């Protein structure tokens, strides 16, 4: 699976480059008021995508092991001819997409699951790089929602392929340069439908969860057509380019609320209530005001821009080689590389928001990669610090 992502990533980058070129052209022609791309936001989204794949090397064993166990002991039709034919694979994709709808909706309605999913919504921009902005913790619990496929007897190989198809389909819908598509919008997840899903506008929040099909939203009452222009992000903005904090922010908030509240029932309830729920003894959060939304954009010098680009290119190279070799690596070595890449990426993000000087970033990364090289773990990491 990791190697498939390595092959897919250049395609994603090429599509992003094409969208960026079109964005610049539209800006020069005066057809749009502002660019859909910002360097800091794009690097942050790409870094989060890289981290999600790197940590996924470790977390995927949880979901795969659970699915394999359920398939082995609970499958009702494990040897059915259905799963060996194209129409069986299509049915498996349909069921998977329904399970995805359930997970996605729960990710907006249960605080613990929102803590993982929020990463995908934190960007205040909306472009193809936003699609790569994925959680690093979703694999801890998300697998539970796909066990019905194992019970139905969908073989693990078929499950893995339809999961990849469902994920890859969702890449193209993250763009503002594809308008409404008529009948297609009524059946499928489309750019118009998914823009609504990412918006914080009143009436748009918690709508359009479908992965491939938006039919599920129409059936279960969560559909909303795009009408007013979308404002993107989260109602409690992240205001950070640190990918580690992006993954930890909501967990930290839930932990703090759970710690402060005196009632034990509330300490547990805060994790499973909808996002933003507060115990009765807590101070109410201020109401969301669209007029107060501000773009997070700390200024960068030309040198900082060059440093940020160089940092991401090095991290991308290291992450790509790791993903290519991950399946053959001992679990301990993979875990150590994962930690090193997470620390290096976090340091780059803090530099992007002027919270860490370049010298400290390079020192930390040299220590991380050098330690890996000294331990004999993937020695190619050491030259990347030069």
Q: Per-residue DSSP letters for 15-77? A: HHHHHHHHHHHHHHTTSSSS-S--HHHHHHHHHHHHHHHHHHHHHHHHHHHHHHHHHHHH-SS
Does residue 244 belong to any structural domain of this protein?
A: no
The residues that bridge with 213 in the sheet, in sequence order, are: 188
In a shared domain, residues 76 and 209: yes
Element (H, E) at 182: none
One domain for residues 214 and 330: no
pLDDT at 114: 98
Cα torsion angle, 239, 125, 108, 203, sign = positive
- pTM of the predicted model as reported, rounded to 2 decimal places: 0.93
Q: 57 is in which domain, residue-wise?
A: 2-220
Cα 272 to chain centroid distance, Å, stands at 21
Token reading at 249: 């922010």
**Tokens 């969908």 -> residue:** 154
Please state the domain count of the chain: 2
Task: Return d(Cα 349, Cα 104) in angstroms, integer.
Answer: 27
193 and 309 fall within a common domain: no
Q: State the Cα–Cα distance between residues 141 and 138, nearest whole angstrom.
A: 6
- 187 and 43: one domain? yes
| Same-domain status, 326 and 200 | no
259 within a domain of the structure (yes/no): no
Answer yes or no: are the C-beta atoms of 126 and 195 closer than 8 Å: yes
Between CA 254 and CA 115 the distance in angstroms is 8
Q: In sequence order, what are the residues at sequence separation of 6 or more whose Cβ sits closer than 8 angstroms to the Cβ of residue 76?
A: 151, 152, 153
Residues 78, 205 share a domain: yes
Q: Which residues of 346-385 are buried (b: 16+ CB within 10 A; e: fewer)?
A: bbbbbbbbeebebeebbebbeebbeebbeeebbeebeebb
Contact assessment for residue 137 and residue 115, using Cβ atoms and an 8 Å cutoff:
yes
Q: How high is the pLDDT of residue 386? A: 34
| Residue (of 293, 284, 268, 239) closest to 111 by Cα position | 268
- Answer whether residue 230 is part of any domain: no
Domain boundary among 220, 246, 261: 220
Instruction: Give the domain-ending residue among 220, 252, 279.
Output: 220
248 found inside a domain: no
> 232 in helix, strand or coil?
strand
User: Do 315 and 345 contact (CB within 8 A), yes or no?
Assistant: yes
Q: What are the structure tokens assigned to 5, written together?
A: 């992502």
In a domain, residue 270? The reply is no
Is the domain of 37 the same as that of 139?
yes
Residue 232 lies in a domain: no
Asked whether residue 61 is domain-assigned, the answer is: yes
Last residue of a domain, one of 220, 250, 282: 220
Can you read off the two tokens belonging to residue 103?
């997970």
Residues of the chain with pLDDT under 50: 379-386
pLDDT score recorded for residue 368: 84
- Say if 262 falls within a structural domain: no
Spatial separation of the C-alpha atoms in residues 107 and 201, rounded to whole Å: 19
Same domain, 201 and 312: no
The whole-angstrom separation of Cα 150 and Cα 98 is 14
Q: Phi and psi (nearest 5°) for 305? A: -65, -45
* Residue reference for tokens 């993000």: 349
147 within 8 A of 159, measured Cβ to Cβ: no
Do residues 321 and 210 share a domain? no
């Amino acid at each position: 699976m990791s190697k498939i992502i390595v092959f897919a990533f250049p395609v994603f980058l090429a599509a992003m480059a094409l969208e960026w070129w079109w964005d610049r052209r539209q800006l020069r022609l005066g057809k749009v008021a502002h660019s859909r791309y910002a360097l800091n936001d794009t690097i942050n989204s790409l870094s989060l995508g890289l981290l999600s794949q790197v940590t996924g090397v470790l977390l995927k064993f949880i979901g795969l092991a659970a699915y394999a166990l359920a398939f082995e002991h609970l499958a009702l039709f494990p040897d059915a001819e259905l799963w060996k034919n194209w129409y069986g694979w299509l049915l498996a994709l349909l069921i998977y997409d329904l399970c995805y709808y359930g997970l996605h909706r729960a990710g907006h309605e249960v605080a613990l699951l929102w803590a993982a999913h929020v990463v995908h919504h934190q960007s205040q921009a909306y472009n193809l790089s936003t699609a790569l902005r994925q959680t690093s913790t979703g694999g801890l619990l998300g697998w539970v929602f796909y066990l019905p496929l194992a019970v139905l007897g969908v073989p693990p190989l078929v499950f893995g392929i339809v999961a990849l198809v469902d994920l890859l389909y969702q890449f193209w819908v993250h763009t503002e340069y594809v308008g409404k598509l008529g009948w297609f919008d009524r059946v499928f997840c489309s750019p118009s439908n998914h823009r609504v899903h990412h918006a914080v506008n009143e009436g748009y929040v918690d709508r359009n969860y479908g992965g491939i099909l938006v039919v599920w939203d129409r059936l279960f009452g969560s559909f909303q057509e795009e009408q007013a222009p979308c404002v993107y992000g989260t109602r409690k903005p992240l205001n950070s380019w640190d990918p580690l904090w992006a993954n930890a922010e909501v967990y930290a908030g839930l932990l703090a609320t759970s710690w402060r509240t005196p009632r034990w029932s509330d300490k547990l309830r805060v994790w499973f209530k909808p996002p933003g729920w507060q115990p009765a003894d807590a101070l109410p959060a201020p109401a969301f005001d669209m007029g107060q939304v501000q773009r997070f954009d700390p200024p960068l010098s030309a040198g900082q821009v060059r440093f940020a680009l160089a940092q991401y290119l090095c991290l991308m190279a290291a992450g790509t080689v790791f993903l290519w070799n991950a399946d053959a690596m001992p679990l301990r070595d993979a875990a150590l590389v994962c930690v090193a890449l997470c620390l290096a990426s976090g340091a780059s993000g803090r530099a992007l928001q002027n919270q860490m000087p370049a010298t400290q970033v390079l020192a930390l990364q040299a220590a991380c990669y050098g330690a890996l090289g000294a331990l004999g773990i993937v020695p190619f990491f050491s030259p990347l610090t030069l």
